[in-house]
Amino acid sequence: MNGTETKTDALVKVSPGTVQVADIANVRALAKDLLDSGLFQGVKNIAGAVTVIQAGLELGIPPVAALNTMVIINGRLAMEAKALLAIAQNRAGVTWKVTKEDSSGCEILFSRPGWPDTISSFTVEEAKTANLLGKTNWKLWEKDMYFARAAGRGIRRIAPDAVLGLYAKEEMADAPVSLNGPASPRPDYEASKAKPLPRPHDEFDPEAPLLKPNPDIDLMADAAEAEPEDPDGPSLASLEKFAKIKTDLQALGISEEAIWTGIHRFTADAFKKAVVEISEFTTPELDQVNGYLHRRKKATEADRAKQAKANG
């Protein structure tokens, strides 16, 4: 360290378009100091702060700016819409113009060199369908919320390479369920392995054969109503159905990690592709996943009933 280099200089190097951190020990030390400041309420622990800082580095954002604009919501990183706009502008030359903004919604025209212009909007009808209008942030800052939704949608369409799939903080704050699989096993997972539930077999065993649809079971009785495919991901009804079935399976003693193991196997078998997050499914695909989980639920309930009868 020379006479003019500060401790901060040693931890973080910033140059045009890039940010470099010396090593993980320095990142953790910096994360702890920043978290101890109490200024960044969107992150609850050092590991979360390190994750946000690392995500910021990948986007070319210094640590303080990353922690000031990024949060972890429902197990997923999200960033304020205005920060996503800045990244899209700096990394991809995106410009935008608000062409409509009133109580009926917001419409934004996005432009990018070498790309066709994109119009992105979010309307009052969409907000009503998603039951957003009664929420406090929508009551107090309705126009800002319309703008954030339209901005987040438009940026992911015109500059996906710049924002790396990030959703706007304002979007994720209203999400009904986690869009991610588990980052780590549930706290009771290790205990469940040590004391497995008594049953003839585990239908979620990675080695177990996939169950095929049973024509005697009305699989569509609980399925979400068919909706047009949303280019941004599965429908709200499909997401809510997924959350309910997952909760039912956990109530039967199936760990979240085991549920996701089954989902990944079903996805590879049914769609011939690897899907990591629920948001990557289309509505028809998630409906099929929900049908698969429904069959697993029925099979598990049948096993439990058979075992209870055998035990008298």
pTM score, whole prediction? 0.49
User: Hunting for tokens 């929420």 — which residue is that?
Assistant: 135
Count, in order, helices (H) and strands (E) of the chain: 14, 8
Radius of gyration of the chain (CA): 23
Q: Which residues are 21's β-sheet partners? A: 12
- CB of 168 closer than 8 Å to CB of 222: no
Q: Report the distance separating Cα 176 and Cα 163, nearest Å.
A: 23
The one-digit pLDDT tens for each residue of the chain (312 residues) are 444 433 333 344 444 444 455 467 788 888 888 888 888 877 878 888 888 888 888 888 888 988 888 887 777 788 889 989 999 999 899 999 999 999 899 999 999 999 999 999 999 999 998 888 888 888 888 899 999 999 999 998 899 888 887 888 888 777 654 444 444 443 443 443 444 433 333 444 444 444 444 443 333 333 333 333 444 567 777 777 888 888 888 888 888 778 877 888 888 888 877 766 677 778 888 889 889 998 988 888 888 888 888 886
Cα dist from 84 to 46, 235, 287, whole Å:
24, 23, 31
